[in-house]
Chains A and B, each alone.
Chain A
Amino acid sequence: MPAQDYDVLIIGSGASGGMAAHTLTKKGVNCLMLDAGPLVDFNRVRQTKQAYELPFHGFGEPGRLPHVVQANEFNANQWVDEKEVPFTHDPNKPFNWVRVRMIGGKSLFWARMSFRLSDYEFKAKDHDGFGENWPLDHAELAPFYSRVEPIFRVQGRREGLKQLPDGEFIEDTSPWSESMNRFIVASKRRDVTVTKMRRSLGRGQFASSFNLLLPEAIETGKLTIVPNAVVRDITVDRNTGLVNGANFIDRHSKREMHAKARVVIVGASCLESTRILLNSKIANSSGVLGHYLHDQTYITQGVVAVDKSPGGSGGTAGGYAPRFVNLKKGNEQDFIRGYAFDFNLAGTPDAKYIPAYGAELEKKLADYRGKAASVTIMGEVLPRYENYASIDKNVFDAYGIPVLHFDCKYGDNETKMLKHAMNTFDELCHDSGFETLAKHDKPWPPGYSIHELGTCRMGDDPKKSVLNKWNQSHDIKNLFVVDGSSFVTGGYQNPTMTILSLSMRASEYLMDQMKARNI
């Protein structure tokens, strides 16, 4: 049977690709979706095991997945094998590219932290003069956030904060714990707002395109999903200059295939999308494709402290403190932009932070159980041209596709910001009755947050950006890129809600353009 021509080819089945399929198929658009990974039967591939049943007793196979800090011996098979699909970087500039290839993509595993960007991000240049503004603002994207949040069932508490706009939340009315109340009092004295975590509840065990977007798209009869389809490049009609499909390789047979479509939407994740476009040698008249790579700085266990007061039981003992620095003129720090705290006050410290061993250590661990504060510091990274991904022409993956090379490092602004963050959280702990065991201000290497952004950024000026404000290529009108690569700045907020909203908005714009026969 000859292959049919589809209206739209969607590359990638994660948050962005899934939302494109969800939006377009409901409007009757015939879509083909390619994903490099398999459709996983989660009941079949996962089983509870004891660590001693694993070959390396939970330590993990030495040398496997050297860039995936999140990997352990239990979950090692869920990540992309770095030998099968390698990448390169300068040894002195490590980049931790963390990847998932399966239907649903990284939306199967995200931390579910669900935030909106504010105009401190969309219009960041107006605020501090650095970089570029987005070609849209919060008011333009707000209607789409408001439709995405109910799909993902975002729980949170409305605060009326300009730097973290409220959404359509399932209201979190749980009371704070006694230690949190102390912490909140201390925070208010320093103009730090503490709120409940904003988190996608999803349905069942997932908050993913796998269960929230793709099933409804399939129900329309308008979506064909092909798993194990590793896209090599996007093809172009030489007569029109428009894209007309993609070459891909079947993951199992290594057979070369070609899929045809009137429109191509790329949503393969920021860096895979960039790799596909660079290998296709398209959409780069600006010369910025692959540049302005940024993510968020992450410090885990930035401060570890133990509660010295007896405390009380019950209540929510963790929270989120959104950006509180550089919000007002005249009160600027020695760095621009800001950071957030994601923290917990009722944990147990890792044994490494306790200066003891043996029986004494075990006694202290028992004493500290449920009384330890720890924080993950998430800081904004400035998008800079000199941080980029490019094609390494000398290295190929198992499918013969050239791999990515990274040249990326954090700068002085990030260093100063993280020092400020560490000291501030340490002071808040002290002021609320905690004693510090350990602290540090050293982030994980770039990439660790799994929030890569910016390498196909949008903008009004085709000379400075890859996409227009509708996630549409400036160069090729029937090519869209709908994932995090389109971001101009990333802020300190986890990007998934913004990716989903941009993809919904771009897909509806595409529908309008198709109806008007502009595409």
Chain B
Amino acid sequence: MKRRRFVQALVAIPAAAPLAAQPPAQAQTGNRGAAAADDPKLEVAAAENAADGVPSFFTPAQFSALRKVSDLLAPPIAGSPGALAAGAPEFLDFLMGKSDAARQAIYRAGLDGLDAHAKQQFNKPFADLDNSQADTLLASLRTPWTFEEPSDPVARFLRAAKSDVRTATANSPASSAGGRRFSGSGLYWYSLD
């Protein structure tokens, strides 16, 4: 039974049945003394292991550029999945859709800028450049880090994407399954009562 229907059924019972007709409480709740260890342990899957995210934030051109730059920033290395196999561009599309306007603007301006520079220098979109051509447009990533954010929109985007793409790749289901050395895990806190 789908969860929603199950919940609806639970809600419907007391509303429809007169109090006198309700079964004894013990019959409803089962054997409370049974050990929790007796409960079945059902194996479930992460959504991303069973389905694909649907990109919806970036334009097709921006998303193509994001896929290209993601592949350059986090390529597959020594058997570990790269950004594309990890679904990092698709995840970042989702994340940016939930992010504030300032962060969205950094990505949109940066990806548009990469495409504009590519067309200006190589007469084709960034996504269609070969790696050596694309490398020339990523030159700002070879300059020393400064505390201040770069003023150039492409450089600012690349700085953000360098971190985000690596994290999205490392923290993906594919990286976990693929044995990427630095995939993330931690002690998760549930909501406090």
Contacts and interface: CB of A to CB of B under 8 A. Distances in A.
A77 B192 contact: yes
A48 B186 contact: yes
Of the candidates B138, B159, B173, B186, the one having the most CB atoms from chain A within 10 angstroms of its own CB is B186
A45 B100 contact: no
Contacts, number: 124
B72 A357 contact: yes
B143 A62 contact: no
Contacts of A362: 77
A57 B188 contact: no
Interface in A37-61: 37-38, 40, 44-54, 56-59, 61
B127 interface: no
Given A50-B176, A357-B138, A45 B192 contact: yes
Interface stretch (A230-238, A256-264, A347-355): A347-355
B124 interface: no
Contacts of B185: 48-51
A398 interface: no
A interface residue count range (under 10 / 10 to 19 / 20 to 34 / 35 or more): 35 or more
B75 interface: yes
A75 interface: yes
Interface string B56-67: 000000000000
| Most chain A CB neighbours (cut-off 10 Å) among B100, B170, B188 | B188
Contacts of B75: 358-359
A37 B46 CA distance: 33
A438 interface: yes
Interface in A53-104: 53-54, 56-59, 61-63, 72, 74-78, 102
B133 interface: no
A442 interface: yes
B73 A357 contact: yes
A38 B73 CA distance: 44
B5 to A, nearest CB: 24
A52 B191 CA distance: 19
A350 to B, nearest CB: 8
Contact of A358 (B46, B73, B98, B167): B73
Contacts of B187: 46-49, 74-75
B103 interface: yes
A59 B171 CA distance: 9
Nearest to B96: A62
B168 interface: yes
Interface range, B side: 35 or more
Interface in B82-109: 91, 95, 98-100, 103
A355 B142 contact: yes
A18 to B, nearest CB: 19
A384 interface: no
B162 A357 contact: yes
Contacts of A58: 167, 171, 184, 186
Given A59-B95, A62-B99, A358 B74 contact: yes
Nearest to A40: B192
A279 B95 CA distance: 40
A83 to B, nearest CB: 14
B159 A352 contact: yes
Contact of A57 (B143, B168, B189, B190): B168
Interface string B155-177: 00001001110111011110110
B142 A356 contact: yes
B141 A52 contact: no
Nearest to B86: A52
Interface in A420-449: 437-438, 440, 442
A366 to B, nearest CB: 10
Nearest to A363: B77
Contact of A355 (B74, B91, B145, B147): B145
B48 interface: yes
B33 interface: no
A186 B142 CA distance: 31
B144 interface: yes
B95 A62 contact: yes
Nearest to A354: B145
A48 B190 CA distance: 11
Contacts of A59: 95, 164, 167-168, 171
A475 to B, nearest CB: 36
Contacts of B183: 50-52
A356 B141 contact: yes
B38 interface: no
B142 A77 contact: no
Given A50-B184, A52-B172, A352 B46 contact: no
Contacts of A357: 72-73, 138, 141-142, 162
B167 A74 contact: no
13 contacts: A46-B188, A47-B187, A50-B176, A52-B48, A53-B46, A57-B91, A57-B95, A57-B167, A62-B98, A72-B186, A355-B143, A358-B72, A362-B77
Given A62-B98, A77-B191, A352-B145, 10 more contacts: A49-B187, A50-B176, A56-B95, A58-B171, A77-B189, A351-B166, A356-B141, A357-B72, A357-B73, A362-B77
- 10 closest cross-chain pairs (CB), A and B: A51-B184, A51-B171, A440-B147, A74-B186, A77-B189, A49-B188, A57-B171, A438-B145, A62-B99, A52-B173
